[in-house]
């Protein structure tokens, strides 16, 4: 079959498509923008292009009004995101990343819900040095953002070293395979040799219509929230050997308040692929999206909308045509939850792994706790890895038996939690960044979640269900960065102090939740939750989770398909 790749259409396509096509493969005017001393920002068109290089321009929203009053431009700075497939870094790399945070950013490292590191608050004058520093650690920021495939997630699986290594290698292979091939990144940030033109064999000049995300899960753990991805791979293991992956496609969380054309969606099952088919399947799903995704309206441009536009059968047929083969039937598997497993664990090689609870992934020193310094000291005596979990936590992994007591002593010294003092609900809670750095935030999330959980825990205690693990997720807007629509309870920001309350996702991450109450404040949320928690306490069946209970007890309708999310 001959594939006719989408060409830019100035009449129909959005402004962003024009910027991409005129950028000479993502170069734009980024270099002159960086040199312009008059402003702390970059030129308008470059705002979009720097995302492909792993960078977002932001401003401190806490200071916006004050600076406006003083007739100053906003306090611009940049957020840098590393591409780090599977979230795995060596101790040495961790040390170097922490040093960059101290030297050039606001002094914290932020672990993301997609297993990446973020540096916030980097000023324009320090951007090149910071990116060069990240590259010196043998990591990079290419395609950490932008209309391309992003960081490929994989289960950090501390229980078995062999399977983790095998699956992690796949996350690297898929990530490398789908990387943009333009030399713009090396030219701009690393002073690489100038190349006149570039080729993008997979993406073409206009790249993808929108971001694209891939995650690999290893059942029974769905900690990557595989169904929230454009492409999900579910590892199938037989006789302790990885034989291939079940393929799911068309997942995503983002939506806009009040716009029912947008909706979160759970990925559909396409079948099973063998290991030698993986790269072809990933590449061809990307190509179908490249050619059939919506390039006119960006908020309808994710693969999930392409799948619904073509219809599931139509999408599958296109994919078969592009890849030249059909997938086999999906293999059986089971997920048990989508959270992390905290504390110490020993693998089959005798090495230890420690999962630490990091509130919202923020590694920072505060008056109360020196988490940043503590992890840095641990990295200095540990010669294994640091793995980020898909839930913003840190796994110190491959710890030798003789290093374990030394790490334990440092944890004690710095009072770092191994997840044995918090409630299961706090451990299962997630919040996105939101204020003060996120330009799209409508309400607080990371800074507010801990105090909300304090009050929610009081409710759980009152009704004797404090030990129940309930997934609570909070975001500052409906873009869904903490995957709120897969929370058994979710609060999605509507306005300062006001949230939409969603209920009824499954505990294993394979069913969406649904809007329960709109635009309410903390007290109203707790008042709404109290009778439900009481009912849960009185009437739950053995082993039943809160999300399943509220559906069974008819408090909320189950959402089996993204198209039903608003109905
Ligand atoms: Fe996100 C945009 C933070 C995971 C859906 N996300 C943003 C931006 C960059 C705001 C912006 O565009 O200006 C946020 C920067 C805040 C800051 O100051 O750091 C932001 N997203 C994050 C992170 C850091 C949240 C976190 O607390 O960890 C996560 C970084 C992941 C990474 O390492 O790559 C993050 N974002 C997600 C996820 C979860 C996931 O992928 O598993 C989602 C939902 C899944 C999905 O994509 O459907 C998500 N982010 C979005 C969207 C909505 C996309 C859509 O389809 O509509 C936006 C807005 C956009 O793209 O226009 C967005
Ligand atoms: Fe920002 Fe909204 Fe994402 Fe939160 S969910 S980080 S507020 S874009």
Of 110, 211, 287, 473, catalytic = 211
- Give the per-residue pLDDT at 3: 76
Of 51, 83, 304, 477, catalytic = 477
- Which one, of 72, 80, 76, 74, lies nearest residue 41 by Cα? 76
SS (H, E, C) 170-190: HHHHHHHHCCCCCCHHHHHHH
Q: Determine the distance separating the centroid of ligand 1 and the alpha carbon of 118, expressed in angstroms.
A: 12
- pLDDT digits over 262-314, tens only? 999 999 999 999 999 999 999 999 999 999 999 999 999 999 999 999 999 99
Nearest CA to ligand 2 atom 2: 477
511-524 mean pLDDT: 98
Tell whether omega for the bond before 218 is within 30 degrees of 0, i.e. cis: no
Instruction: Assess whether pLDDT exceeds 80 at residue 563.
Output: yes
Tell whether omega for the bond before 201 is within 30 degrees of 0, i.e. cis: no
Is the CB–ligand 2 distance for residue 479 below 6 Å? yes
CB 42 within 8 A of CB 30: yes
Cα(419)–Cα(433) distance, integer angstroms: 21
Residue 273 annotated among the catalytic residues of the structure: no
Q: State the fold for domain 424-564.
A: Sulfite Reductase Hemoprotein; domain 1 (3.30.413)
Ligand nearest to the CA of 111: 1
Q: Determine the distance separating the centroid of ligand 1 and the alpha carbon of 480, expressed in angstroms.
A: 7
The model's confidence at residue 561, banded by pLDDT at 50, 70 and 90, is confident
Is the CB–ligand 2 distance for residue 294 below 6 Å? no
CB 80 within 8 A of CB 54: yes
Is the CB–ligand 1 distance for residue 228 below 6 Å? yes
Full DSSP string of 283-346: HHHHHHHHHHS-SS-GGG-SHHHHHHHH-HHHHHHHHHHHHTSPPBPPPP----BSS---EEEE
101-106 mean pLDDT: 97
User: For ligand 1, what atom is nearest to the CA of residue 224?
Assistant: 42
395-411 mean pLDDT: 97
Per the confidence metrics, is the pTM higher than 0.95?
A: yes
CB within 8 Å of 138: residues ≥ 6 apart: 93
Ligand nearest to the CA of 224: 1
Q: Determine the distance separating the centroid of ligand 2 and the alpha carbon of 184, expressed in angstroms.
A: 28
- Give the per-residue pLDDT at 2: 67
Is the CB–ligand 2 distance for residue 477 below 6 Å? yes
Ligand nearest to the CA of 442: 2
The model's confidence at residue 567, banded by pLDDT at 50, 70 and 90, is confident
CB 93 within 8 A of CB 101: no
The model's confidence at residue 195, banded by pLDDT at 50, 70 and 90, is confident
Cα(371)–Cα(396) distance, integer angstroms: 14
Q: Determine the distance separating the centroid of ligand 1 and the alpha carbon of 284, expressed in angstroms.
A: 24
Q: Determine the distance separating the centroid of ligand 1 and the alpha carbon of 441, expressed in angstroms.
A: 11
Instruction: Assess whether pLDDT exceeds 70 at residue 456.
Output: yes
Instruction: Assess whether pLDDT exceeds 80 at residue 196.
Output: no
- Give the per-residue pLDDT at 416: 93
Residue 51 annotated among the catalytic residues of the structure: no
Measured at the alpha carbon of residue 410, what is the angle toward residues 408 and 416, in degrees to the nearest 5? 85
Q: Across the chain, what does the average pLDDT equal?
A: 96
CB 58 within 8 A of CB 124: no
User: For ligand 1, what atom is nearest to the CA of residue 113?
Assistant: 28
Cα(174)–Cα(151) distance, integer angstroms: 10
Of 83, 432, 473, 511, catalytic = 432
Of 114, 150, 426, 483, catalytic = 150
CB 451 within 8 A of CB 381: no
Mutate to test the pocket of ligand 2, among 476, 478, 480, 482 (most ligand atoms within 8 A of CB): 476
Which three-class secondary structure state does DSSP give residue 415? coil
Q: Determine the distance separating the centroid of ligand 2 and the alpha carbon of 493, expressed in angstroms.
A: 9
Q: Which two tokens stand for residue 246?
A: 């079940």
Give the strand pairing for 514-520 and 498-503.
antiparallel
Q: Determine the distance separating the centroid of ligand 2 and the alpha carbon of 333, expressed in angstroms.
A: 32
- Which one, of 237, 213, 234, lies nearest residue 304 by Cα? 213
Burial of residue 320 (CB within 10 Å: 0-12, 13-18, 19+) is middle
Mutate to test the pocket of ligand 2, among 61, 473, 481 (most ligand atoms within 8 A of CB): 481
Return the bridge partners of 58, or none.
77
Could you state, in order of their start, the residue ranges of all structural domains in the chain?
424-564
- pLDDT digits over 20-74, tens only? 999 999 999 999 999 999 999 999 999 999 999 999 999 999 999 999 999 999 9
Residue 81 annotated among the catalytic residues of the structure: yes
User: For ligand 2, what atom is nearest to the CA of residue 441?
Assistant: 7
Of 20, 213, 387, 483, catalytic = 213
User: For ligand 1, what atom is nearest to the CA of residue 215?
Assistant: 42
Cα(548)–Cα(558) distance, integer angstroms: 9
Is the CB–ligand 2 distance for residue 19 below 6 Å? no
Distances from the Cα of 182 to the Cαs of 109, 201, 289, 518, in angstroms? 28, 10, 20, 45
Residue 481 annotated among the catalytic residues of the structure: yes
């Amino acid at each position: 079959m001959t594939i006719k790749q989408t060409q830019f259409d100035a009449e129909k396509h959005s402004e962003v498509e024009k910027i991409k096509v005129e950028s000479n493969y993502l170069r734009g005017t980024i270099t002159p923008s960086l040199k312009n001393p008059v402003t702390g920002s970059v030129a308008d068109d470059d705002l979009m292009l720097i995302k492909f290089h792993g960078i977002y321009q932001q401003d401190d929203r806490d200071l916006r009004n004050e600076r406006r009053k003083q007739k100053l431009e906003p306090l611009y700075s940049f957020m840098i995101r590393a591409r780090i497939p599977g979230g795995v870094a060596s101790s040495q790399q961790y040390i170097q990343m922490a040093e960059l945070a101290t030297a050039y950013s606001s002094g914290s490292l932020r672990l993301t819900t997609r297993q990446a590191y973020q540096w916030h608050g980097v000023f324009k004058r320090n951007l090149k040095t910071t990116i060069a520093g990240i590259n010196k650690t043998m990591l990079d920021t290419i395609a950490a953002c932008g209309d391309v495939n992003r960081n490929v997630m994989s289960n950090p699986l501390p229980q078995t070293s062999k399977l983790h290594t095998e699956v992690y290698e796949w996350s690297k292979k898929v990530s490398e395979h789908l990387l943009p091939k333009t030399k713009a990144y090396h030219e701009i940030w690393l002073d690489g040799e100038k190349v006149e033109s570039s080729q993008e064999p997979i993406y073409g000049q206009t790249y993808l219509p929108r971001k694209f995300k891939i995650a690999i899960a290893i059942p029974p753990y769905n900690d990557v929230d595989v169904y929230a991805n454009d492409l999900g791979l579910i590892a199938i293991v037989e006789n302790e050997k990885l034989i291939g992956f079940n393929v799911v496609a068309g997942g995503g969380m983002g939506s806009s308040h009040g716009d029912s054309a947008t909706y979160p969606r759970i990925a559909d099952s396409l079948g099973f692929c063998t290991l030698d088919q993986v790269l072809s399947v990933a590449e061809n799903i990307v190509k179908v999206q490249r050619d059939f995704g919506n390039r006119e309206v960006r908020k309808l441009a994710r693969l999930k909308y392409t799948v619904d536009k073509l219809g599931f059968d139509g999408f599958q047929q296109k994919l078969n045509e592009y890849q030249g083969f059909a997938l086999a039937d999906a293999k059986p598997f089971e997920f048990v939850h989508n959270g992390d497993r905290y504390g110490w664990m020993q693998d089959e090689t005798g090495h230890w792994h420690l999962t630490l609870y990091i509130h919202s992934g923020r590694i920072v020193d505060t008056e109360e706790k020196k988490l940043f310094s503590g992890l840095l000291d641990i990295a200095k005596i540990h010669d294994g890895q640091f793995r980020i979990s898909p839930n913003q936590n840190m796994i110190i992994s491959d710890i030798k038996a003789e290093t374990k007591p030394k790490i334990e002593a440092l944890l004690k010294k710095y009072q770092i939690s191994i997840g044995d003092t918090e409630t299961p609900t706090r451990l299962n809670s997630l919040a996105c960044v939101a204020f003060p750095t996120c330009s799209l935030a409508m309400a607080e999330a990371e800074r507010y979640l801990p105090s909300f959980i304090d009050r929610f825990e009081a409710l759980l205690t009152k009704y004797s269900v404090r030990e129940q693990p309930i997934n609570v997720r909070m975001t500052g807007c409906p873009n869904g960065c903490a995957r709120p629509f897969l929370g058994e309870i979710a609060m999605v920001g509507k306005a300062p102090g006001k949230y939409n309350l969603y209920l009824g996702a499954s505990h294993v991450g394979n069913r969406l939740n649904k809007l329960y109450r709109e635009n309410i404040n903390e007290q109203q949320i707790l008042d709404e939750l109290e009778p439900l928690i009481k009912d849960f306490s009185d009437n739950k069946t053995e082993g039943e989770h809160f999300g399943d209970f509220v559906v069974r007890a008819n408090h909320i309708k189950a959402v089996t398909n993204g198209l039903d999310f608003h109905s």
